[in-house]
């Protein structure tokens, strides 16, 4: 019997750090009978939340890897991915959103829309993921869901409206009012598992009626039947309201807002009802694949089990039982023993074991179909590979992978550590596309690069724990860039005669700054002075020149290379001759184009008690920071600034001592800007000294 895809939900839980994502997932698993006891993220029992299965996650009380699980609620199968909040682990959110159909955006009712909420929302918008919002922690002092809903409208530009309102707030938070059913819901029992629906308390009746009216006015835009019912007056069928909210949510034109407190076990079951009622099933979402046999033409995947198989490997993990590959099936069926094709490598792969994941536990299954998120064992592939049935050359469109902004050298203490470190790095780079590693040929050191200090810290710690690789970390290095600031002409001839046919190529043109993008090549040759077949060679030569600038050895970016003249020789011209000519031309023009060094600038948001606002702003100014704005949220203040990454090393320790440990900060890459003259001179001196010492 074919599975009813309308009853399947693939959802992600995303939010700013410490908004309660993992606690919420823990409660969802409890109420859907997937676990039988609740454990806290930083619980005194030492067990930790189910979804934080890595030792490091339990110790630090944060989510590092996205964890997958599945559950059932009122006849609906729900696949859930709990994602990290730290921007350093942003790839975990990217890859989760790439394969999910809907999401819950969790917000703290005190903190509201915070810096990482904005980043997560931007990621959801990139993949057009419909979302519902859950305002958590309504039991905390200073809770104000109404203000958070206004922030969703102002800061995130979402058409957000509360479809529930709280009964009391802070210590008096008792339950919720459902504005669709117009009932009050209380959560009884030891863990809030018994729902009690009663009439709305008289004191809240007028406010509830007013809010419902505003809600109906807003959502009637999505349903003509509801609009007619509202105009006629009288009782309105709740089914019409559910239908209108669902239509608005799926069209990304409406965001329903739920309220509750995961920690206090209130509001979770109605949120699950909301997931089933308003978030999309696999057939509601349009997904495209590229037909590799037809010049990568896009076609729509069908979600039909009888069509040829297409599935995407979106995450790799090296678990207790070898490499685990998480996959999302888009069409067709996969059974144990089937043979599939990796469309990137063209290799055949036989499926031995198929499992459904529940955090770090698993359940063997025989087959899976469209919309399923499952895991495979012992498959050699990379994150983002597409698997298809025989005879279908297709690839799912890739996900956005940000470039690393920080790197440091890792030095093994002995040969055993060297071997283990190589194994660890090999695995981590396959697992995480934002984690890069290479050997610096000049120093012989192994360099690792990533999204921030915490990102690299976690990987170094994992090397030591999981691979017993004792390594020492060098000082962090910032990913500087070099660029040019003015136009500069070149006219270069590469000539080499060594008996027999030699090498000859002449290229002329100019380099100029490029406002957007990293590099552009413009072919302005007329009259065939450089034969057509050598034009790509010139492009290749310029691209090779970008790898290392002559100021501080950093990669060169923001350059347009235009060739408009040249010359060739019927015998001596070749691909390599024009590559070398282009490299010589670049070298000649680069230093005349007034090159400068650029540094990564980070968008930093520091959140803490208002009493420390002055100290926080002072600390950012000392680090060459430019304050963009401050927002006061009750007794808390958020200071937003743009600060060079090179000045942010060790900031977490400094901030802790400045604010008695009461403030926290988030940081994400914003842009590249020119470094001040004094720092530029230092970097150039250092690079020249290193070159001399080799």
Residues 244 and 374 in one domain: no
Does residue 621 belong to any structural domain of this protein? yes
Q: Each residue of 495-505: pLDDT tens digit?
A: 887 666 688 99
Q: What is the CA radius of gyration of the chain?
A: 29
Q: Which two tokens stand for residue 203?
A: 């004191």
In angstroms, how far is CA 557 from the centroid of its own chain?
Answer: 24
Say if residue 42 is in the same domain as residue 139: yes
**Predicted confidence (pLDDT) per residue in 40-53, tens digit:** 544 444 444 444 44
Q: What is residue 53's predicted lDDT score, i.e. its pLDDT? A: 43
Looking at 284, 316, 338, the residue that finishes a domain is 284
Same domain? For 30 and 137 the reply is yes
Residues 100 and 64 in one domain: yes
- pLDDT at site 43: 44
Containing 641, the helix (H) or strand (E) segment is strand 636-644
Are 212 and 130 found together in one domain?
yes
- Name the 3-class secondary structure at 100: coil
The answer to whether residue 401 is domain-embedded is no
At 55 the three-state DSSP class reads helix
Q: Do residues 499 and 384 share a domain?
A: no
CATH of the domain at 132: 3.40.50.300
pLDDT at site 291: 85
Domain that holds residue 426: 406-467
Beta bridge partners of 178: 164, 183
Q: Is the residue at 132 inside a domain? A: yes
The reply to whether 77 and 124 lie within a common domain is yes
Q: What is the pLDDT of residue 59?
A: 53
Domain count, the chain: 5
Q: Check whether residue 270 and residue 294 sit in a common domain.
A: no
Identify whether the C-beta of residue 279 lies closer than 8 Å to the C-beta of residue 132.
yes
Low-confidence ranges of the chain (pLDDT < 50): 1, 41-54, 57-58, 60-64
Structure tokens at 183: 């009932």
C-alpha closest to that of 515 among 556, 561, 558, 562: 558
| End residue of a domain, out of 567, 594, 621 | 594
Residue 316: which CATH number?
A: 2.40.30.10
Query: Measuring CA to CA, which residue among 462, 475, 463, 403 is closest to residue 649?
Result: 475
Distance CA 484, CA 374 (A): 49
694 within a domain of the structure (yes/no): no
Q: Does 138 map to a domain?
A: yes
Residue 7, token pair as written in the block: 């009853």
Distance between CA atoms of residues 152 and 227, nearest Å: 25
pLDDT of residue 62: 46
Helix (H) or strand (E) run with residue 165 in it: strand 164-167
The residue count for the chain:
694
Alpha-carbon distance 218 to 350, whole Å? 52
Show which of 363, 396, 429 is a domain's final residue.
396
On whether the pTM is more than 0.75, the answer is no
User: Do residues 589 and 637 both lie within one domain?
Assistant: no
């Amino acid at each position: 019997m074919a599975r009813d895809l309308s009853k399947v939900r693939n959802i992600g839980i995303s939010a700013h750090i410490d908004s309660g994502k993992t606690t919420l997932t823990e409660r969802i698993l409890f109420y859907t009978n997937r676990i039988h006891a609740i454990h806290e993220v930083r619980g005194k029992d030492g067990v930790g939340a189910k979804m934080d299965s890595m030792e490091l996650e339990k110790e630090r009380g944060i989510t590092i890897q996205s964890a997958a699980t599945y559950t059932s609620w009122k006849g609906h199968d729900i696949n859930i991915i709990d994602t990290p909040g730290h921007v350093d682990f942003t790839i975990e959110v990217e890859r989760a959103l790439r394969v999910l159909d809907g999401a819950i955006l969790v917000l703290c009712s005190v903190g509201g829309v915070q810096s990482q909420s904005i980043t997560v929302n931007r990621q959801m918008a990139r993949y057009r993921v419909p979302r519902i919002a859950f305002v958590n922690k309504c039991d905390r002092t200073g809770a104000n869901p109404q203000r958070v809903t206004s922030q969703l409208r102002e800061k995130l530009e979402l058409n957000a409206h509360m479809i529930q309102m709280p009964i009391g707030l802070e210590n008096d938070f008792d339950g919720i009012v459902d504005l669709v059913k117009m009932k009050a819901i209380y959560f009884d029992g030891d863990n809030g598992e018994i729902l009690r629906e009663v009439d709305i308390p008289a004191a809240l009746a007028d406010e509830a009626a007013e809010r419902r009216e505003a809600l109906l006015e807003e959502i009637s835009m999505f349903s003509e039947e509801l609009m007619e019912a509202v105009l006629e007056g009288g009782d309105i069928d709740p089914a019409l309201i559910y239908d209108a909210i669902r239509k608005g949510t799926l069209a990304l034109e409406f965001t329903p807002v739920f309220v509750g407190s995961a920690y206090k076990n209130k509001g979770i079951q109605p949120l699950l009802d909301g997931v089933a009622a308003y978030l999309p099933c696999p057939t509601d979402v349009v997904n495209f694949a590229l037909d590799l046999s037809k010049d990568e033409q896009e076609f729509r995947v069908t979600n039909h089990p009888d069509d040829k198989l297409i599935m995407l490997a979106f995450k790799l993990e090296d678990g207790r039982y070898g490499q685990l590959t998480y996959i999302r099936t888009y069409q067709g069926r996969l059974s144990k023993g089937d043979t599939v094709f990796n469309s990137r490598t063209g290799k055949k792969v036989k499926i031995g074991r198929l499992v459904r994941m529940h955090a770090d536990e698993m359940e063997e299954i025989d087959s899976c179909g469209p919309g399923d998120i499952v895991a495979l064992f012992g498959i050699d592939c990379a994150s983002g590979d597409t698997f298809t049935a025989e005879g279908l050359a297709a690839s799912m469109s890739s996900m956005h992978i940000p470039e690393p902004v920080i790197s440091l050298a890792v030095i093994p203490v002995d040969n055993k550590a060297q071997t283990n470190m190589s194994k660890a790095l090999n695995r981590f780079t396959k697992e995480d596309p934002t984690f890069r590693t290479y050997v610096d040929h000049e120093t012989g050191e192994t360099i690792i690069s990533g999204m921030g200090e915490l990102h690299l810290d976690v990987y170094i710690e994992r090397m030591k724990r999981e691979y017993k690789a004792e390594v020492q970390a060098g000082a962090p290095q910032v990913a500087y860039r070099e660029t040019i600031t003015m136009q500069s002409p070149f006219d270069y001839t590469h000539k080499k005669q060594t008996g027999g046919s030699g090498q000859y190529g002449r290229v002329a043109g100019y380099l100029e700054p490029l406002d957007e993008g990293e590099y552009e090549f413009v072919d302005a040759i007329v009259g065939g002075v450089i034969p057509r077949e050598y034009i790509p060679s010139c492009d290749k030569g310029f691209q090779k020149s970008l790898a290392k600038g002559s100021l501080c050895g950093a990669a060169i970016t923001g350059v347009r290379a235009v060739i408009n003249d040249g010359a060739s020789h019927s015998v001596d011209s070749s691909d390599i001759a024009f590559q070398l000519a282009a490299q010589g031309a670049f070298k000649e023009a680069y230093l005349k184009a007034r090159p400068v060094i650029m540094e990564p600038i980070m968008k930093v948001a520091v959140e803490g008690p208002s009493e420390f606002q002055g100290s926080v702003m002072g600390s950012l100014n000392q680090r060459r920071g430019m304050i963009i704005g401050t927002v006061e949220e009750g007794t808390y203040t958020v200071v937003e600034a743009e600060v060079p990454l090179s000045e942010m090393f060790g900031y977490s320790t400094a901030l802790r001592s400045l604010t008695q440990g009461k403030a926290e900060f988030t940081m994400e890459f914003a842009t590249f800007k020119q470094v001040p003259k004094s720092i530029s001179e230092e970097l150039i001196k250092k690079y020249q000294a290193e070159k001399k010492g080799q």
